[in-house]
Amino acid sequence: MESIFKGKNLIGADETGVGDYLTPLVATAVFVSKENIKKLKKIGIKDSKKLNDKKILEIFEKIKPIIKSSTRYFLQEEYNKLNKKYNANELKMYLHMMAINSLEKRIKNVDFILLDAFSNDNSLNKYIQKLKKDKKIKDIKNKIIFKTKAEDKHISVAIASIIARSYFIKLMENQNKKWNMNFPLGTNKLVEKVAKKFIKNYGKEKLNMVAKISFKTTKKII
């Protein structure tokens, strides 16, 4: 943990599903009080990318009583609709701001908000200024600090990554069941093969319900 966060109460935020063609986009904001940091570290918190799905779901159940969190997501159909107005990074920030807005209503003693720097500070602040004009978004009250690999800087972001991923896992289970298919992650050859199979089974007009249409993969398969 960086020294600037020591002894502070933080909201950390992280997202998942960004680079996946056939998935929703999920973001979570988590409040961790300084009193609970030691307790959470004993549970074995680490970035969700270093954990398998089973472990993520196990940890989520253990940490639920200790933290406060807010999760927001765009299913693919809504993502595609909003993508006409907002680019991919703006949509990421859109979810973060909604999750943080919700948490700030419930938490009073926040020192910082820590967010993974998925772009440079200037661009990130521009996204925030643009999104504040959206009726669904309110300005963030507390100071935001952007850091690369923020999940390694404070446990709140690592926890946010775990919770976001647990929602993501459940959403993908529902999607697989709804369409009677197993949707792979990423943007690889297997993804292209499954997307083509989906079009064959359900028609091209339904693709926007399972895929992020703006990805280059769309041109490859159609």
* pLDDT value, residue 3: 66
- Ramachandran quadrant class, 162 (left: phi over 0; alpha: psi -120 to 50; beta: rest): alpha
Over range 37-48, report the average pLDDT.
74
Q: How many Cα atoms are found within 13 Å in the side-chain-facing hemisphere of 150?
A: 25
Q: How many Cα atoms are found within 13 Å in the side-chain-facing hemisphere of 105?
A: 8
Taken in order of first residue, the domains within the chain and their CATH numbers are 3-180 (3.30.420.10)
Residue 24 near residue 167 (C-beta atoms within 8 A): no
**Residues 204-216: tens digit of each pLDDT:** 999 999 999 999 9
Residue 130 has pLDDT above 90, yes or no: yes
Whole-model pTM? Answer: 0.93
Over range 3-28, report the average pLDDT.
92
**Residues 102-122: tens digit of each pLDDT:** 999 999 889 999 998 899 999
